[in-house]
Amino acid sequence: MHNSKAILREVRVNGPMSRIDLATRLQMSKSTVSGIVAELIEKELITETGSMQSQGGRRAIRLQFNQAYGCVLGIDIGLFWMRFAVADLNGHIQIQTKRRMPSGRNGSRVLCALQDAIRELIDEFQLSELSVLSVCVSAPGNVREDGTLVNASAIPHLEGLPLKEQLSELFPSALIVIENDVNVAAFAENWNGCGSRYRTFVYVGIGSGLGCGLVLNSQLFRGALGAAGEVGLLSMGLGDGPTIEEDLSSSGILRTFKRYRNNDGHVTSVKAAFEVILREPDAHEEFIQWLVVRLAYVIRILCGVLNPEAVILGGGIGRRMDFLLPNVMKALNIAIPSPIVEVSSLGDDIQLVGAVGIALNEVSDLLVELRG
């Protein structure tokens, strides 16, 4: 089984290639490779796609991973939208769609809406239950072993919902993963974003809340109880003042901006506030410094604990903070070497990309065992 997984992984990641290439790369005998390849072809996990250029002698047959063997489903549950992406087994998104979150603060309605949306997806695009090999759901909060959410402050009515159980009923043969949305974003950065350049980095997601996704030695680190990176719950300093998240989030930033602007009611979003600041930076120097102090404080904490190569700012607000970076780097002023600080290049679909990546990662080592 180990050799089968190694051969499948090699063809999938580095193919197309020949049997001789496989034997050389994996240091296996030609007879062992030929026997396993025959089994994988019979299972339709590998296909023969013609001859390769001859190096003298008979032409070798090209082997290619069958990316259409099945698919994975990524789901992102946000405050206003549920988004869905179906990808082939090479991670190429084939289908992408979204549905509005139901109005009201009712968890049962969310669950029903999710089930209805998935059934519509299955019917509209003629997906079979067996073709979906893995599903990953990105949602705010910490995830228990049973797949339920706790501390989902951004969407409290998600807490305790049996997401994993319900998805298992829809896809009985699939691997189901429920993951914290900031961890999913960190995975996306590691897989297909700025984070791919670093072995150890922290993704700082700033939006309706603040959370950190930790990638250590190129692996997502969740902590012993799945709550690693909850820096936003810490207080600013040692007193009983507001938490970092209460200040450095959409509501906190907008509230403070309005206070500096004498409760100017014309600015109704952080995006609009940042646009005003960029037009008149000198007039908002005090507010800019307020932001810089808090962002530098978060980064100093991360430096002292993890000493990461990089800190990547993301989320609806975080990725718009590039104009603060020069001041933040000056404000760090710590004995530990400062990390590279940059903003995420992945847009609104970062959680969807990450969910697809995690679903793909979960199923990749088990393909040989499925439908075997």
Q: Give the pair of three-digit tokens for residue 7.
A: 């051969």
More confident residue, 200 or 43: 200
Which single residue is written with the structure tokens 């984070």?
A: 195
2-65 folds as Arc Repressor Mutant, subunit A (1.10.10)
Strand partners, 149: 143, 159
φ, ψ of residue 166 to 5 degrees: the values are -65, -40
Q: For residues 99 and 124, give the distance between their C-alpha atoms in angstroms, rounded to a whole number.
A: 14
**Longest alpha-carbon distance in the chain:** 82
Q: For residues 232 and 223, give the distance between their C-alpha atoms in angstroms, rounded to a whole number.
A: 16
Query: What are the CA-CA distances from residue 112 to residues 31, 90, 145, 229 (Å)?
Result: 53, 31, 22, 31
Please compute the mean of the pLDDT values over residues 228-252 and round it to a whole number: 87
Q: For residues 187 and 213, give the distance between their C-alpha atoms in angstroms, rounded to a whole number.
A: 8
Q: Tens of pLDDT along 153-195?
A: 778 888 888 999 999 999 988 999 999 999 999 999 999 999 9
Q: Tens of pLDDT along 277-326?
A: 999 999 999 999 999 999 999 999 999 899 999 999 999 999 999 999 99
Residue 196 has pLDDT above 70, yes or no: yes
Q: What's the pLDDT at 370? A: 52
What average pLDDT is seen over the chain? 88
Q: What's the pLDDT at 365? A: 62
Q: Tens of pLDDT along 249-287?
A: 999 999 999 999 887 778 899 999 999 999 999 999 999
161-170, 204-213, 235-244, 316-325: the lowest-pLDDT one: 235-244
Q: Where along the chain do the CATH 3.30.420.40 domains lie?
A: 71-185+350-364, 194-343
Q: Which CATH code of 3.30.420.40, 3.40.50.1820, 3.30.70.890, 3.30.310.80 fits the domain covering 71-185+350-364?
A: 3.30.420.40
Q: For residues 355 and 357, give the distance between their C-alpha atoms in angstroms, rounded to a whole number.
A: 5
Residue 55 has pLDDT above 60, yes or no: no
Q: Which CATH code of 3.40.718.10, 3.30.70.990, 3.30.420.40, 3.30.70.20 fits the domain covering 194-343?
A: 3.30.420.40
More confident residue, 59 or 156: 156
Residue 54 has pLDDT above 90, yes or no: no
More confident residue, 367 or 228: 228
Q: For residues 20 and 32, give the distance between their C-alpha atoms in angstroms, rounded to a whole number.
A: 11
Q: What's the pLDDT at 312? A: 98
249, 232 Cβ separation under 8 angstroms: yes
Q: Where along the chain do the CATH 1.10.10.10 domains lie?
A: 2-65
Which single residue is written with the structure tokens 């700082």?
A: 204
Q: Give the pair of three-digit tokens for residue 118.
A: 């998935």
Q: How many CA atoms lie within 13 A of 18 on its CB side?
A: 14
pLDDT confidence band for 371 (50 / 70 / 90): very low
